[in-house]
Amino acid sequence: MDDKLRQEVMQKVKLWLNADIDEASKAEIQHMMQSDENLLIESFYKELEFGTGGMRGIMGIGPNRMNKYTVAMATQGLANYLNKRKPFMDKKAAIAYDCRNNSSFFAHTAAEILSANGIKVYLFDALRPTPELSFAIRELKCDTGIVITASHNPKEYNGYKVYWEDGGQIIAPHDKGIIDEVRAINSPSDVAFETNSKLIHEIGDEIDKKYIAKIKTLSLSPNAIRKHADMPIVFTPIHGTSVKLGPETLRTFGFTNIINVPEQDISDGNFPTVKSPNPEEPEAFTLALKKAKATNAELVMGTDPDADRVGIIVRKKDGTYQLLNGNQTATILIYYLLTKWKEAGKITGNEYIVKTIVTTELLGEIADSFGVESFDTLTGFKYIADKIRELEGEKQFIVGGEESYGYLAGDFVRDKDAIISCALIAEAAAWAKEANKTLWDVLMDIYTEYSCFHEALISIKKEGKTGAEAIAKMMDDFRYNTPESFNGQQILMIHDFEKQQAVDKISDLRYSLTLPKSNVLQFILEDGSKISIRPSGTEPKIKFYFSVRTKMNNPADYPEKRKLLEKRIDSLIKALKITE
């Protein structure tokens, strides 16, 4: 390593070795110093930073790792921010955690630090879905909340997400305020570790019951469920937190034939049956799909470890199974909800949906056709939650969604919610069955009525310091060396959310973008294609989102249209010269 970096790293190493940390942690640091300089650099060259609502990283010792001390330091920063904002006032926090290795330990660590700073803590008695944490914050009137999770990341990772009093993940100005306080904590020695156990209160099924009861109020097709209560549904938590509440909520809605996947009902942070506990990955559904075929199930649903995202597989009329992508599931869910709201006479012109800028434009077109307003936000469900907060009392929120398999109906939770989504997706399947249709038939009807859309996501991993530099260079190249066209299609509009500016390439006019500043580029092509590029806020990746469309006159035309659109995306990928 160069001299400057060596000096910075060794200064941080010395700070940690001189702090009051346990002997095992000191021994781990000394081992790295003697035998693994690269690991020492990666563990100490920077601090874990808050991304979309918190921090996420590989577990291990050092300021750039998830461990007892980085969790304690982050919590001390949060406590300092709360105590400065509300001095001499009682303050409350809720804490939940997922199935990952060390999640319970990190959650209890956070509870102890908050209590040492005079903050009352409601700590769940066992693992719980992340969206239930959002519900608990609102139900218990907390000032903040913490959930320990790394979502769908590999088993080596864990994470720490902070929520605010509205139940949504932190956004400006609180995110910056908390980050500033966390950065002011220079070592574990700055943390108050003197636990006040009187301020830590365990919560359990009393919150579960209220949460499920509230979800039940969202049901729109109880008659269809009664008629098709025995519709076979395979449900898997993929070793995660929905293992209890997922099936229980489905049964509360009225479904009686819930088929589990026993191997994946075991809560295990090593995720032994999958390569990745990510419902975006087909491999994660191998066991569930096998179970579906054996039981002739009509619907398969699988949630990620913290149960805020869900992937689904639908059975077609011919008996084959189809894994839907996040945009397709959002399309069906939103179309179903708006249809039922319209039938009930509940659409008055004051309702709205929310989606992110990288999510399919089909959602906005559907909303428009129902007389419902559609809002775009930056990527990250915290921005959807913020839009709900902004319009609270003025407009009626119906549903929100993003392409990355996260959806929310109702406003009593302020984060994407796989428990709510599973219940409503199953209900939509029963509703479709009433019309002798499958969810796949519903999707094909939508494509025929509006347009056939196809989307793809390419993620390129660039780890460590050199990876971060490579991602920054790629963004600069696309921002400052933009061609006139991609794959022969002229660029009509460029949305640069870092500059907060839209450029009309035909007229050369500039327009201001009202969304918050973010390092995202978006290109709109003359054939309606949309390309979005952004660095991930939670992983060492740069992401490329592609959305293409074409008219479709009949559901039977879908295979041909799908091939056409796939070729178009392949050509765009080649035109962008995306390589590892």
pLDDT digits (tens, 9 = 90+) for 14-40: 989 998 899 999 999 999 999 988 899
pLDDT, tens digit (0-9, with 9 covering 90-100), for 257-288: 999 999 999 999 999 999 999 999 999 999 99
User: What is residue 51's predicted lDDT score, i.e. its pLDDT?
Assistant: 58
pLDDT bin (cut points 50, 70, 90) of residue 7 is: confident
User: What is residue 153's predicted lDDT score, i.e. its pLDDT?
Assistant: 87
User: What is residue 81's predicted lDDT score, i.e. its pLDDT?
Assistant: 96
Q: Which of 40-44, 74-78, 413-417, 576-580 has the lowest mean pLDDT?
A: 576-580
Q: List C-alpha distances in Å: 445 to 321, 355, 402, 448, 557.
A: 18, 21, 21, 5, 11
Mean pLDDT of 443-472: 94
pLDDT, tens digit (0-9, with 9 covering 90-100), for 391-408: 999 999 999 999 999 999
User: What is residue 50's predicted lDDT score, i.e. its pLDDT?
Assistant: 62
Mean pLDDT of 342-358: 97
pLDDT, tens digit (0-9, with 9 covering 90-100), for 488-539: 999 999 999 999 999 999 998 999 999 999 999 999 999 999 999 999 876 7
Q: Does 151 participate in catalysis according to the annotation?
A: yes
Q: List C-alpha distances in Å: 76 to 113, 147, 249, 354.
A: 7, 15, 36, 34
Cα distance between residue 424 and residue 413, in whole Å: 15
Cα distance between residue 140 and residue 144, in whole Å: 10
Mean pLDDT of 44-52: 76
pLDDT bin (cut points 50, 70, 90) of residue 431 is: very high
How large is the angle between the packed helices 418-434 and 326-343, nearest 10 degrees?
Answer: 60
Cα distance between residue 448 and residue 551, in whole Å: 7
Question: Taking 60 as the threshold, does the pLDDT of residue 52 lie above it?
Answer: no
Cα distance between residue 144 and residue 479, in whole Å: 37
Nearest alpha-carbon partner for 114 in 137, 80, 148 = 80
How large is the angle between the packed helices 174-183 and 68-85, nearest 10 degrees?
Answer: 120
pLDDT bin (cut points 50, 70, 90) of residue 580 is: low
Q: How many CA atoms lie within 13 A of 247 on its CB side?
A: 17
User: What is residue 316's predicted lDDT score, i.e. its pLDDT?
Assistant: 97
User: What is residue 473's predicted lDDT score, i.e. its pLDDT?
Assistant: 94
User: What is residue 110's predicted lDDT score, i.e. its pLDDT?
Assistant: 98
Percent of the chain with pLDDT over 90: 87
pLDDT bin (cut points 50, 70, 90) of residue 1 is: low
Q: Which pTM value belongs to this model?
A: 0.94
- Domains, in order of start, for the chain: 1-45 (no CATH), 47-209 (3.40.120.10), 226-435 (3.40.120.10), 452-576 (3.30.310)
pLDDT, tens digit (0-9, with 9 covering 90-100), for 283-340: 999 999 999 999 999 999 999 999 999 999 999 999 999 999 999 999 999 999 999 9
Which of these is catalytic: 25, 134, 151, 529? 151
Q: List C-alpha distances in Å: 308 to 68, 149, 240.
A: 25, 11, 11
C-alpha dihedral over 436, 438, 443, 448, to 10 degrees?
-40
Question: Taking 90 as the threshold, does the pLDDT of residue 559 lie above it?
Answer: yes
